[in-house]
């Protein structure tokens, strides 16, 4: 079964998937294995790895280590064409459709394509949409694009639909890592009603109730990064996983 199929299955059986984003620059190698086993035990469904700006040159080694520690999918969430590794299960092949920067619509993709083929890495075409959470996030700065305002759901809907017509298999609604405010529930539900693709929501989600509301409004996957870097004890994680998987509880 492809990783994409596996993700769809998770969303179907659990109501939504809980994905954790690991930023290679913030990983403490001494604590990685322990952290990963807590993730898996607590009900995390998959690991995303990548960063808008990556300083660490050891991505391959980190992914290899993650893969040897967990049985859940390990998926690259790349900030550019250098973030490709043969050790991952798949890569979100992101096209930054909310922007008009050709480099992130097709440029980095061309640079990465031959390595993805050589590594036999599953590419999951994903329409990536950045929203304005009221703060200049790394992804917005590094991509040199404009963000969609939270109060313009029509702009969000039509971008998502265009991405669907372009053949994307998923839509990622991104408030940016460390965003002050996560994507509003109304934006999630309006996009959900307008398109037929699975929706990933990330950026600024810290609270289980906030996460659950996104699922109730149509999110198929939630991505958490920052909140788990500071607090990843197993009871908090379990609480978050239960909130996201509430349909099966
Ligand atoms: C960023 O959506 C992810 O790409 C996660 O964001 O770090 O704010 O959880 P946080």
- pLDDT at 233 (0 to 100): 84
Residue recorded with tokens 């640079």: 111
CATH number at residue 234: 3.20.20.390
Tokens of 174: 């991104």
Question: Could you give the CA distance from residue 96 to residue 61 in angstroms, rounded to a whole number?
Answer: 27
Are 106 and 139 contacting, i.e. CB atoms less than 8 angstroms apart?
no
- Token output for 2: 């492809």
206 Cα nearest atom in ligand 1:
9
* Ligand 1 pocket residue status of 224, Cβ below 6 Å: yes
At 41 the pLDDT is 95
pLDDT of the residue at 92: 98
Residue 8 makes CB contacts below 8 A (sequence gap 6+) with 198
Q: Ligand 1 mean position to 129 CA, how many Å?
A: 13
Cβ of residue 226 lying under 6 Å from some atom of ligand 1: yes
Q: Is the shortest distance between the CB of 203 and ligand 1 below 6 Å?
A: yes
Instruction: Count Cβ atoms below 10 Å from residue 174 Cβ, excluding itself.
Output: 26
User: If you measure from the C-alpha of residue 139 to the centroid of ligand 1, how many angstroms do you get, rounded to a whole number?
Assistant: 10
Position in ligand 1 atom list of the atom nearest CA 226: 7
CA 112 to ligand 1 center in whole angstroms: 23
Q: How far is the CA of 194 from the centre of ligand 1 (A)?
A: 24
**CA 179–ligand 1 middle distance (angstroms):** 7
For the CA of 23, the nearest atom of ligand 1: 7
What is the pLDDT at residue 30? 94
Q: How many domains does the chain have?
A: 1
pLDDT of residue 230: 73
pTM exceeds 0.95 for this model: yes
Distance 222 CA to ligand 1 centre (A): 9
What span, in angstroms and rounded, lies between the C-alpha atoms of 119 and 66? 17
Q: How does DSSP classify residue 26?
A: G
Q: With beta carbons less than 8 A apart as the criterion, state whether 187 and 195 touch.
A: no
pLDDT of residue 139: 96
223 within ligand 1 shell (Cβ under 6 A): yes
Per-residue pLDDT of the chain (249 residues; tens, 9 = 90+): 999 999 999 999 999 999 999 999 999 999 999 999 999 999 999 999 999 999 999 999 999 999 999 999 999 999 999 999 999 999 999 999 999 999 999 999 999 999 999 999 999 999 999 999 999 999 999 999 999 999 999 999 999 999 999 999 999 999 999 999 999 999 999 999 999 999 999 999 999 999 999 999 999 999 999 998 776 788 999 999 999 999 887
Q: How far lies 56's CA from each of 12, 28, 88, in Å?
A: 36, 12, 17
What is the distance between the terminal CA atoms of the chain, rounded to a whole angstrom?
Answer: 26
**Ligand 1: does its nearest atom lie under 6 Å from the Cβ of 181?**
no
- Give the range of the structural domain holding residue 228, as residue numbers without chain letter: 3-248
Could you tell me how many residues make up the chain? 249
pLDDT, position 228: 87
Q: Is any ligand 1 atom within 6 A of the Cβ of residue 73?
A: no
């Amino acid at each position: 079964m492809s990783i994409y199929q596996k993700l769809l299955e998770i969303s179907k059986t659990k109501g939504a998937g809980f994905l954790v984003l690991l930023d290679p620059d913030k990983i403490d190698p001494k604590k990685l294995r322990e952290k990963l086993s807590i993730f898996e035990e607590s009900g995390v469904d998959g690991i995303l790895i990548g960063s808008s700006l990556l300083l660490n040159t050891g991505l391959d080694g980190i992914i290899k280590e993650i893969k040897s520690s967990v049985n859940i999918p390990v998926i690259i969430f790349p900030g550019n064409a250098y973030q490709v590794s043969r050790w991952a299960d798949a890569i979100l092949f992101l096209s930054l459709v909310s922007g008009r920067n050709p480099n992130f619509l097709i440029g980095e993709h061309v640079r990465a394509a031959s390595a993805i083929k050589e590594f036999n890495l599953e590419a999951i075409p994903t329409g990536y949409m950045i929203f304005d959470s009221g703060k200049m996030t790394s992804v917005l700065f590094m991509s040199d694009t404009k963000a969609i305002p939270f109060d313009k759901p029509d702009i969000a809907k039509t971008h998502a639909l265009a991405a669907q017509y372009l053949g994307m298999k998923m839509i990622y609604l991104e408030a940016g890592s460390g965003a002050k405010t996560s994507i509003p529930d109304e934006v999630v539900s309006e996009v959900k009603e307008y398109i037929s693709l699975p929706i990933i929501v990330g950026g600024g989600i810290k609270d289980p109730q906030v996460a659950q509301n996104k699922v109730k409004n149509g999110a198929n996957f939630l991505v958490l990064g920052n909140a788990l870097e500071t607090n990843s004890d197993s009871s908090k994680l379990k609480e978050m996983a239960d909130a996201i998987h509430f349909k099966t509880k």
